[in-house]
Amino acid sequence: MKKILVVEDDWDLNQGICHALSKEGYETIPAHSLEEAEEFYSRRGADLVLLDVNLPDGEGFSFCQRIKQRRRIPVLFLTARDLEEDALTGYEAGAEDYITKPFSIKVIIKKIEVMFRRETDDRTMVYQDGYLMVDFDKAKVEVLGKECLLTPTEFRLLRQLIDHKGQLLTYSVLLERLWDNDAQFVDKHTLAVNVNRLRGKIEDAQHKYISNVYGMGYQWLS
């Protein structure tokens, strides 16, 4: 289920948007300020952000820039500011679209569908950042152009983390996805060992990818 963070300080409008999106099968996270948006996004992640520009504690442009630096995620601005320069600022911040109020919720839903479909179509089977290269099709990993050999479990772990970059994957979720618990007993220690081995193979002092969120799970940072 796709998760949408709705950042809008008008409580009634926020509730209405969330209700309409929930009926379409999306999981929604309502936030009414930048502070709430930062907290919820850091803790729960999101697959798309609906973002107001004017919020009680600042402008949405800065929040858009921050999350875009962490992860490639679609952002759709919803705002009463209809000046051309505001729209240009939104696009320069990295937003995929900029819609002025009042708007049709049916149009918003359709735009979201298009964004998710485009994201799926554009999804590459190769992760590349100049230091680390992962070809998921060929199950091949390179660090600085040199082949890096991973175990099957390490490769599955890497795939889960990259596929959900910017999102917290809890211990229980990773254990369930990486191992058949009916076939063998595994615990957080086994998971930690594999994470540490993976870190040792793909990370160095300048390239840190995997964050341990203490007591909760792991997160891909890049």
**Same domain membership, residue 11 and residue 60:** yes
* Residue 124 in this model has a pLDDT that exceeds 60: no
Phi, psi of 75 (to 5 degrees): -130, 130
Residue 47 and residue 2 in contact, taking contact as beta carbons nearer than 8 Å = yes
Residue 121, pLDDT above cutoff 60: no
CA–CA dist 96, 154 (Å, integer): 34
User: What's the rounded mean pLDDT across residues 73-97?
Assistant: 86
- pLDDT tens, residue by residue, 160-197: 899 888 888 888 888 888 875 444 557 888 999 999 99
E-assigned strands of 174-216?
Answer: 210-213
For 181-188, the CB contacts below 8 A with 24+ separation are none
- pLDDT tens, position by position, 2-13: 899 999 999 999
Q: Report the pLDDT value the prediction gives residue 154, as an integer from 0 to 100.
A: 94
Examine the fold and report which residue of 122, 142, 177 is the final residue of a domain before the chain moves on.
122
What domain count does the chain have? 2
| Range with lowest mean pLDDT among 22-36, 66-80, 141-155 | 66-80
Same-domain pairing of 13 and 107:
yes
| C-alpha–C-alpha distance, residues 40 and 31, integer Å | 8
Q: Is the dihedral of CA 136, 140, 146, 148 positive or negative?
A: positive
Shared domain for 44 and 98, answered yes or no, is yes
Statement to judge: residues 113 and 146 lie in one domain: no
Which tens digit of pLDDT belongs to each residue from 57-76?
999 999 998 888 767 788 99
One domain for residues 117 and 148: no
List the CATH number of the domain containing 99. 3.40.50.2300
Is the pLDDT score of 116 beyond 90? no
Which of 107, 122, 137 is the C-terminal boundary of a domain?
Answer: 122
First CA to last CA distance, the chain: 23
Q: What pLDDT was estimated at residue 87?
A: 84
- In whole angstroms, how far apart are CA 91 and each of 56, 60, 64, 153? 22, 12, 10, 40
Give the CB-side neighbour count of residue 201, counting CA atoms within 13 A: 20
pLDDT at 188: 87
Which of 94, 122, 150 is where one domain is finished?
122
Indicate if 135 and 209 belong to the same structural domain: yes
- Do 28 and 99 lie in a common domain? yes
Q: What is the pLDDT of residue 182?
A: 44
Whether residues 157 and 107 share a domain: the answer is no
Residues 182 and 72 in one domain: no
Are residues 145 and 97 part of one domain?
no
**Residue 15 class from Cβ within 10 Å (0-12 exposed, 13-18 middle, 19+ buried)?**
middle
Judge contact between 139 and 155, C-beta under 8 A. yes
Owning domain of residue 153:
126-220
Closest CA relative to residue 116, chosen from 219, 40, 4: 4
Cis preceding linkage at 102, omega within 30:
yes
Give counts: helices (H), strands (E), the chain. Answer: 8, 14
- Is 148 in the same domain as 64? no
pLDDT value of residue 183? 40
Confidence grade of residue 44 (pLDDT, cut at 50, 70, 90): confident
146 and 179, same domain (yes or no): yes
**The CATH number of the domain where 157 resides is what?**
1.10.10.10
- Helix (H/G/I), strand (E/B), else coil: 115: helix
Cα separation values, 83 from 10, 49, 56, 57, 101, Å: 21, 21, 20, 21, 12
